[in-house]
Amino acid sequence: MAFAHTGSVALLGVDGVVVEVQNDLEPGVAAFTIVGLPDKALSEARDRVRAAVVNSGEKWPQRKLTVGLSPASVPKSGSGFDLAIACAVLAAAERLDPAAIARLLLIGELGLDGRVRPVRGVLPAVLAAADAGYDQVVVPQQTAAEASLVPGMTVHGVQTLRQLIAQLSGQVPAEEEPDPAARELPDNALAGLCLPGIGVRSRSADEADYRDLADIAGQYEARRALEIAAAGGHHLYFKGPPGAGKTMLAERLPGILPPLTPQEALEVTAVHSVAGLLPAGRPLVRAAPYCAPHHSTTMPAIVGGGSGLPRPGAVSLAHRGVLFLDEAPEFPVRVLDALRQPLESGEVVVARAAGSLRLPARFLLLLAANPCPCGRWSRRGEGCDCTPTMVSRYQGRLSGPLLDRVDLRVEVDAVTRLELMERDSAAETTATVAARVLAARERAAARLKDTPWRTNGEVPGHELRTRWRLAPGALRDAEREMERGLLTARGLDRVLRVAWTTADLAGQDGPGRDEVRTALALRTGFSRGLPVARP
Amino acid sequence: MLTDTLTGVRTIPHADRLARALLSRIVEPGDEVAGLMLQEHGAIETAERLSQGRDLPAGLARKGEGYRARAVGANPAADLDRAHYLGARLVCPGDEDWPTQLDDLGAARPVGLWVRGGASLRLLALRSVAMVGARACTAYGAHVAAGLGAELADAAWVVVSGGAYGIDAAAHRGALAATGITIGILACGVDEIYPRGHSALLARIAEQGLLISELPLGAHPTKPRFLQRNRVIAALTRGTVVVEAARRSGALSTARRARDLNRLVMGVPGPVTSELSAGVHELLRSGGALVTDAAEIVELVGGIGADLAPTRRGPILPRDAIGGEALRVLEALPGGSVGAPVEYLARDAGLPPDAVLQRLYELGSLGLVERCGAHWRLV
């Protein structure tokens, strides 16, 4: 028998494609070729696999060896095919039983010494395997927990090729000698997985967050906006001078978002797995992620990209969580405009020469900006020297279609001395607000039960207007502003959405005049004489 | 398309108009020396003297050089032709359509006003209020200005502003949105677009309202021209409303001019923490009237009791003296207290809606019709 095949997975963004790894062994001059659009890292698998096999105490077949990766037209990249190639070679050389690996799916990179090293994207790969009907996978030991998240899948975690060969040939594997020196060292096998510096922080549910809303003095308006944003999935824009606490507020938004549903958790974990952001040992991301890229960030880092086939960018890493753009006018205009597609459709399509990719990107956008380049504009007695042209140009960078999709615009003012001093007065904690948000979300979900939407922020305007009628007179203020040309038709839809969320938070059946006025104030960014929502 | 409600009733001789067209090219706005000569010797002689640099008042030798240099190559007849081609005209003192309240400026009175748009300047200006404020305004300021503009339009008052970014634009837009008439007074030629971003807005104002300037076609704005433009805004209107202004804002210069001319000065307050309302608050503390909505503005500028009749300077035009488009609109108006909206009248009179709107405002200034929400009716 000079032929064997097994399975592995190629990743296209966060979608896996099951690949059959075939191996053919023929008499002839010793050679080793890989066909099926391998990239550089995959071509180098030849040297890694040969060394690993030899160093695992096996004999390398000195014949003409061809590895085919099928479907041959899908571009394949990365080092995750090493394990499958090694096993297929050994099965073709009759060292392993071809039948033992035919229904198996193998993922993992091989070190030259035969150790199995983890790779990125194990979860989406195993999800694809499950979809294709596989029920057994072999993955590196470090990522076994991640693979186990897929229901109904039998996962074998392996540490070395030698161990795998022993298991497959029915022998009892020799107990791995733990290297006492290695225990002391950090596990460098995980080092290649992380992409440092993209500003993502995800928090698992059991991990305590030291950032609490109770830390923030005053800022009732901004707190209320955070709460409404979290409850309805509305995008939010904070405008205010430096030092007002915009970043502090933003960092506390993920804490009041409800925990992810099992389905959402899998989606988020898959993206983070591809990006190499999963912490070892706690694979499932259960809490909303938070991504705060710096304003010098490039387009590929925001929407996803890179050479060859793209990696998820900040918009996808913030999927089901918060994307915070601090100093938003400082971002390149192209980057800001690129956010419009994901804001509208909840996903981002990135095209490259090698093919185009669809990545999930349903995030809650949080923008923060100073009012002018120096940040002191319109503040009494602070001596802002920016000219009107500078101010309007600075603010104009954010205007138009992007801001049109932002429902809540809040002026954040610096905290007064009085508010700082009376800190002991009970400011609400994250837990209290999160409970209200969760209740409001459940209320909205119950109302939207028979629809494809789950939060008020997602409901299209005409549905909102026609499906759920408002009490007579509730919209009076908004209609008045429309007549005067102060509010566009799209603006009215946004106001309506926020009004529903406000009503959900208050536990009402529908928005009344006060809720609409609150929404108007939050949409236009200035006060209409509503009392502050003091706790 | 020129209005026929007032033009043609009484106009100055063509030679005078040519002379004033020339003067508008060689004299900077607000030049009182030239203004005095104009009062004393008339337009034709003043234009001759300035363009040739002869018989100038003592100590004007240097300035005379400037006049002469500008006069070289000036072609007033071509200017008037080009203006006509663009749908603009030069309104001069002595014309029936000249807003006589500008005479309050004395020697600094404009030599003439280039007007783009089809309505009568004098009749529209009779019921007009200026609204000015910061260019870099806050959301609050823009909201208030647009709201006031729309409410004033609802009350059939004309909103006058400078066409700039910020409060000016919001006021214009508010009036336009409420199917009202608004006048933009520019610091450049009426064919120029400044600021560049307002090309659509300015075009809309020229169609639905009026764009006016004392500067000739093609003139570019400069800082002194903005300040001189403010005096026209202040003098043309019954009162000036400042919506948002920092302490050193140009809007305050308009308010000061208005006060010097005994016009009403009004201010809309803002948050005391805002630097952009500090100028307004100072204005209010020094005697400006505090206003919060259009009804309060109309109450102040409209005179005691009813604000209906423009008694102060309204020309006496009996109903049977009205002809042309204005008559067609007047006859299209149904009797009774309900009246009809602009679209209905446009269909009935066979005129474009913008033209009907302008005629209605003119008739309103003459006290023959009045606006009631979206409807117009006979008085």
What backbone torsions phi and psi does residue B128 show, to the nearest 5 degrees? Answer: -130, 150
Judging contacts by C-beta atoms under 8 Å, the chain A residues touching residue B174 are 484-486
β-strand A322-325 against A290-291: which pairing, if any? parallel
- As a whole number, mean pLDDT of residues A57-63 equals 90
Q: How far is CA B147 from CA A431, B166, B170, in A?
A: 41, 14, 8
- Whether residue A47 contacts residue A77, with contact meaning beta carbons closer than 8 Å, is answered with no
* Interacting residues of B200 by C-beta distance below 8 A, sequence separation 6+: none
Q: Name the amino acid, one letter, at A267.
A: E
Residue A414, CA distances (Å) to A220, A248, B203 in order: 12, 12, 42
Extract the tokens encoding A492: 């009215």
pLDDT band at A257 (very low <50, low <70, confident <90, very high): very high
What Å distances lie between residue B233 and B48, B213, B230, B311, CA to CA?
A: 29, 10, 5, 21
Name the nearest CA neighbour of A257 among A268, A270, A243.
A268
Give the model's confidence band at A150: pLDDT under 50 very low, under 70 low, under 90 confident, else very high.
confident
Q: A486, B176: Cβ pair inside 8 Å? A: no
Residue B219 CA neighbour count, 13 Å, CB half = 26
- CB–CB contact B278 A380 (8 Å): yes
Task: Report yes or no: A186 and A105 within 8 Å, Cβ to Cβ.
Answer: no
Q: Which residues of A touch B (CB under 8 A)?
A: 372, 377-382, 384, 388-389, 391-392, 409, 413, 481, 483-486, 524-526
pLDDT digits (tens, 9 = 90+) for A430-445: 899 999 999 999 999 9
Cα of A436 vs its chain's centroid, Å = 25
| A486 interaction partners in chain B (CB closer than 8 Å) | 143, 146-147, 150, 174
Q: Do A388 and B165 touch (CB under 8 A)?
A: yes
Residue A369: Cβ-neighbour burial (10 angstroms; 0-12, 13-18, 19+): buried
**What is the pLDDT, as a whole number, of residue B139?**
84
Calpha distance B120→B103 (Å, rounded): 18
Residue A529, Cβ density class (10 Å: 0-12 exposed, 13-18 middle, ≥19 buried): exposed
What DSSP character marks residue A160?
B
The share of chain A scoring above pLDDT 90, in percent, equals 30
Full-model pTM: 0.80
**B210 to chain A, closest Cα gap in Å:** 20
Least confident of A194-208, A502-516, B266-280: A194-208
Closest to A277 measured CA to CA, from A286, A264, A268, A288:
A268
Q: Do B139 and A377 touch (CB under 8 A)?
A: no
CA distances from B18 to B23, B56, B71 (A): 9, 21, 13
Which chain A positions have a beta carbon within 8 Å of B136's beta carbon? 372, 377, 388-389, 391-392
Three state DSSP letters for B55-118: CCCCCCHHHHHHHHHHHCCCCHHHHHHHHHHCCEEEECECECCCCHHHHHHHHHCCCCEEEECC
Separation CA A76–CA A70 (nearest Å): 10
Residue of A nearest to B373 (CA): A483
Q: Determine the Cα–Cα distance for residues A204 and A201; give it in Å rounded to an integer.
A: 10
Among B169, B142, B174, B139, residue whose Cα is nearest residue B157: B174
Closest approach of chain B CAs to the CA of A529, in angstroms? 12
Quote the CA–CA distance of A277 and A200 in Å, as a whole number: 8
- Per CB-CB distance under 8 Å, the chain A contacts of B138 are 378, 526
B144 to chain A: closest CA residue:
A486
B139 and A524 in contact by Cβ < 8 A? yes
Q: What residue in B sits closest to A414 (Cα-Cα)?
A: B273
pLDDT at A350: 82
Q: In which element (H, E) is residue A21 found?
A: strand A15-26
Q: Which residue of B has its CA nearest to A396?
A: B136
Instruction: State which residue of chain B sits closest to A395, comparing Cα positions.
Output: B136
Question: Most B CBs within 10 Å: which of A379, A398, A480, A486, as the mutation test of the B interface?
Answer: A486
Confidence of residue A461 (pLDDT cuts 50, 70, 90): confident
Q: Which residue of B has its CA nearest to A522?
A: B139
Which of B140, B174, B276 shows the shortest C-beta gap to A485? B174
SS3 content of chain B, % helix, strand, coil (to 5): 50, 15, 40
**Nearest by CB to B138, which of A378, A380, A413?**
A378
Return the residue of A nearest to B146 by Cα: A486
> How buried is A21 (Cβ within 10 angstroms: 0-12 exposed, 13-18 middle, 19+ buried)?
buried
Query: In the prediction, which pLDDT does A227 show?
Result: 94
Q: Do A380 and B135 touch (CB under 8 A)?
A: no
Whether A484 and B150 lie within 8 Å, measured CB to CB = yes
In B279-374, beta strands by DSSP E:
289-290, 340-341, 369-372
- Tell how many helices (H) and how many strands (E) occur in chain B: 15, 12
Q: What is the mean pLDDT of residues A171-178?
A: 63
Q: Which chain B residues touch A if contact means CB-CB below 8 Å?
A: 134-136, 138-140, 143, 146-147, 150-151, 165-166, 173-174, 176-178, 272-276, 278
Are the beta carbons of B139 and A526 separated by less than 8 Å? yes
* Three-class SS state of A206: coil
How many Å is the maximal CA-CA distance in chain B?
A: 66
A233 contacts A498 by C-beta, under 8 angstroms: no
Q: Is the dihedral of CA B125, B130, B135, B136 positive or negative?
A: negative
Q: Which two tokens stand for residue A257?
A: 């978002």
Q: A388 and B274: CB-CB below 8 Å?
A: no
Q: Which one of B136, B143, B174 has the shortest CB-CB distance to A391?
A: B136
User: What phi and psi values does residue A241 have, to the nearest 5 degrees?
Assistant: -70, 160
Preceding peptide of A71 cis, ω within 30°? yes
Nearest chain A residue to B138 by CA: give it.
Answer: A378
- pLDDT value for B310: 45
pLDDT tens digits along A308-365: 556 788 899 899 999 999 999 999 988 998 898 898 888 888 877 666 778 899 999 9
Length of chain B: 379
Q: Which of A389, A485, A524 sits opposite B150 (nearest CB)?
A: A485
* Contact across the interface for A382 and B275, Cβ inside 8 Å: yes
State the Cα–Cα distance between residues A311 and A354, nearest whole angstrom.
13
* H/E element, A54: helix A45-55
Q: What is the b/e burial string over A245-256, where b = at least 16 CB atoms within 10 angstroms of the residue's CB?
A: bbbbbbbbbbbb
Residue B318: what pLDDT?
61
Give the closest-approach CA distance of A316 to chain B in angstroms.
Answer: 33
For position A352, what pLDDT does the model report?
73
Q: Measure the CA–CA gap between A255 and A267, rounded to whole angstroms.
A: 19
Which residues on chain A are in Cβ contact (under 8 Å) with B140?
Answer: 526
**ipTM score:** 0.71
Q: How many CB atoms lie within 10 A of CB A307?
A: 11
Q: Which amino acid appears at position A417 of this protein?
A: R
Contacts with A382 from chain B: Cβ below 8 Å: 275
Per the model's pLDDT, the better-predicted residue between A381 and B314 turns out to be A381
Query: Which pLDDT band holds residue A212 (cuts at 50, 70, 90)?
Result: confident
Contact A388 B150 (CB under 8 A): no
Q: How far apart are alpha carbons A268 and A202 in whole angstroms? A: 10
At residue B54, the pLDDT reads 81
Q: Verify whether the Cβ–Cβ distance A380 to B138 is below 8 Å.
A: no
Pick from B80, B91, B78, B314: which is nearest to B185 by CA? B91
Rounded (10°) CA dihedral A392, A393, A395, A397: 150
- Mutate one of B275, B276, B277, B281 to test the A interface: name it (highest A CB count within 10 A): B275
List the single range of A134-138, A184-188, B87-91, B219-223 with lowest mean pLDDT: A184-188
Query: Which residue bears the tokens 């009076």?
Result: A476
How many Å lie between the alpha carbon of B155 and the closest alpha carbon of chain A?
Answer: 13
B143 contacts on A by Cβ (under 8 Å):
486, 524, 526
pLDDT tens over chain B, length 379 residues: 334 666 556 789 999 999 999 999 999 999 998 999 999 999 999 999 999 888 887 767 778 888 888 898 899 999 999 999 999 999 999 998 899 999 999 999 999 999 999 899 999 999 999 999 999 888 889 999 999 999 999 999 999 999 999 999 999 999 999 999 999 999 999 999 999 889 999 999 999 999 999 999 999 999 999 999 999 999 999 999 999 999 888 899 999 999 999 999 999 999 888 888 999 999 999 999 999 999 999 999 986 444 444 444 445 556 667 778 888 898 899 988 888 999 999 999 999 999 999 999 988 888 888 888 888 988 8
| Partners of A525 in the β-ladder | none
> Treating both helix axes as pointing N-terminal to C-terminal, what angle do A220-232 and A489-506 enclose, rounded to 10 degrees?
100
Whether B275 and A392 lie within 8 Å, measured CB to CB:
no
* Closest residue in chain A to residue B133, using alpha carbons only: A388
Q: In the prediction, which pLDDT does A388 show?
A: 81
Three-state DSSP class for residue A466 = helix
Are B143 and A486 a contacting pair at CB < 8 A? Answer: yes
Task: Judge whether residue A425 has pLDDT over 70.
Answer: no
DSSP codes of every residue in A291-335: E---TT--HHHHH-B-SSSPBP-HHHHTTTSEEEETTGGGS-HHH
Tokens of A272: 């983070």
Q: Using CB atoms within 10 A of its CB, is residue A329 exposed (0-12), middle (13-18) or buried (19+)?
A: buried
Best of A372, A377, A378, A522 to substitute, by most chain B Cβ atoms within 10 angstroms, is: A378
Using a CB-CB distance cutoff of 8 angstroms, which residues of chain A are in contact with residue B272?
A: 380
Q: What is the pLDDT of residue A7?
A: 92
H/E stretch holding A428: none
Which of A81-85, A182-186, A464-468, B229-233 is predicted least confidently? Answer: A182-186
Instruction: Answer whether B279's CB lies under 8 Å from B246's CB.
Output: yes
Query: How far is it, in rounded angstroms, from Cα A66 to Cα A43?
Result: 12
